[in-house]
Amino acid sequence: MLDQLPIGLSISGALLLIALGLTFTFGQMGVINMAHGEFIMAGAYTAYMIQDFAGDQAVIVALPLAFVVAGAMGLILERVAIRRFYGRPLDTLLLTWGVSLVLQQLARDLFGAPNVNVTAPGWLEGRLTLGSVIVPYTRLFIMALAIVCVVAIWAYMNRSRQGRRMRAVMQNRELAACSGVITERVDQLTFFIGSGLAGIAGVALTLIGPIGPTLGTNYIVDAFLVVVAGGLGQLRGAVLAALALGLLNSYAEFWTDASLAKVIVFGSIVAFLQFRPQGMFVLRSRALT
């Protein structure tokens, strides 16, 4: 039972890294981005491509590179296609789903269909023993990376001018525009950051197992569940929802099997949303009554 705790926490960290980007693109812009999983894949393949050159520092070098690569891909997608579909979430779902299929096929053409492995650096080999609980260093690294990203996002949103503009647009886009905020630029920056965080998540996932063209599809549904259960655009909600889903998934697999665990997780989310349809936390705003 105790051995499942670090496994669940590492799953929570990976889900949180993936969901952080969706929290803002979905919560602020109303875009259902099914291509978010392929930005995860892009980050993972970035680590794969540089491991021969960077050696034991491949993971550290890949983190900023994956952020830029995935962020640039997201920015291009937003500028070329998504900007024409704002306010039409179902259309963005179909559009980005098609883009995800194209990117998956592109990955097969470039890297091949079989899964590949990224060798963990030597300083992440080994494990930490706490009594009867054994925690691999790779899972500790994923948990620490998730904490660093959450702190960085919180500081950005609450301590920077651009972060305050993002919050203003998220709360009331029309009023923010009337106040002089260029919402188009805020959307571009938000999409870049959200996609870049997916790239960082892709690097983290290389420490868990093999990667392939369909890597993102294995996590994208769970990431949307985290965003919906936590509340649209709510950072603290995403943290708590990722923690709950990761632990629930870990212990459900321990008690049953992987397929039934997914059913338990989905059923729990559906039951929770019956009582809290807007998620754990709701964005408070003033309205005329």
For residues 49 and 254, the answer to whether their CB atoms sit within 8 Å is no
The whole-angstrom separation of Cα 200 and Cα 19 is: 11
41-77 CB burial, b ≥16 within 10 A, e <16? bbbbbbbbbbbeebeeebbebbbebbbebbbbbbbeb
The whole-angstrom separation of Cα 12 and Cα 95 is: 29
Helices and strands, counts by H and E, the chain:
11, 2
Q: How many CA atoms lie within 13 A of 20 on its CB side?
A: 31
Judge whether 155 lies within some domain: yes
For residues 18 and 239, the answer to whether their CB atoms sit within 8 Å is no
The whole-angstrom separation of Cα 23 and Cα 223 is: 9
> For the domain that residue 135 is a member of, what is the CATH number?
1.10.3470
Q: Per-residue pLDDT tens for 217-260?
A: 888 888 888 888 888 778 888 889 999 888 888 888 888 877 78
* pTM of the model as a whole: 0.89
CA terminus-to-terminus distance, the chain: 51
Judge whether 285 lies within some domain: no
Judge whether 288 lies within some domain: no
Judge whether 150 lies within some domain: yes
Q: How many CB atoms lie within 10 A of CB 128?
A: 12
Unique residue bearing structure tokens 């890297």: 111
Q: pLDDT at position 287, please?
A: 47
Q: pLDDT at position 284, please?
A: 60
Domain count for the chain, please give it.
1
The whole-angstrom separation of Cα 32 and Cα 121 is: 35
β-bridge partners, 133: 130
Judge whether 283 lies within some domain: no
* Pick from 178, 236, 176, 265: nearest CA to 23: 236
Give the chain's residues under pLDDT 50.
287-289
Judge whether 280 lies within some domain: no
Q: Any idea what DSSP says for residue 286?
A: -
Q: pLDDT at position 107, please?
A: 93
Judge whether 85 lies within some domain: yes
Judge whether 25 lies within some domain: yes
Domain encompassing residue 146: 4-275
Helices 4-29 and 183-205, packing angle to 10 deg: 160
